[in-house]
Structure 1
Amino acid sequence: MNIQSKILGSLFILMASSAFAQTSDADQEVAKLSKDKWQWMADKNVAKLDDLFDDKSVFVHMGGSWGKERELEVIKSGGIHYKKADVHEVSVQIIDNTAIVLNRITLLAVVGGNEVTNPFIVTEVYVKQNGKWKMGSLSFTRTMGPPAQEQPKN
């Protein structure tokens, strides 16, 4: 193997590891934002959510779908109080400036004055605009039966 091949090989490895690190950092950034969002929803922190939700964002629930303003009003008024989201699994896929987050959760919520617990797979779509992640969509899909058991922590 000549010196040029060794240099090119080393450069390729360096570029590949750099790209991986950037993807990994972005994955972590979006996963943290998703986690923070669950807490903001539980706290009814509409100021943080207003900043996170894009003006064109859409929300899909078991009872219907609507836009940003209605979602913020539902949260603020307590029409849906997202009391606690137990997040069992999170995956993040980034495609260019779009991040798709899947959360498998058990959600404890108060809906119309009734406390309910439901297992969901929640799909979140974020778009990076001017260096900042904005939520474009949040969709709840109720799963059939109880959620899978969490693995014991070591």
Structure 2
Amino acid sequence: MTAIPVKTDKEESAVAPLFGKAKWFALIDDEGAISFWHNELKSGREVVNHFQAVGITRVVFQDMGGNPFMLLSRAGIGCYYSGEGRVLLKDAVARLQKDELIEVTQQNMAEYVERSQRHSKGDHHEGHEHHDHGHHH
């Protein structure tokens, strides 16, 4: 089963930008049926524990901190990057089913994890401010 943070509990919702803070998660089973879970937990760690308990094997995210990412990795839950900007739940699900989403691993996590902190604080990670990957939007 796949979990995707969303803004509302509707199938036409957009993916929520921050993984651990999302109020709702869309849960997609192997048949593609969507249900919604209301996240009232307070931390990414609790969310990961819940996902482990209910058998989530993959998550799709837009922005995630390093800690939840490591917890998901340790739990054996695959993490997939939804893409930037406004991404609709339906599109994220369709792309996941077609294997078009980028799987984020410990090898490439620097590009996809903690993006918001890096872009807003700039000097938050010392030694990382010279990263010109050529994709500044």
TM-score by length of 1: 0.27
User: Which of these two proteins has the greater Rg computed from alpha carbons?
Assistant: 1
TM-score by length of 2: 0.29
Identify the structure with bigger relative contact order (alpha carbons < 8 Å, sequence gap 6+): 2
Higher strand share: 1
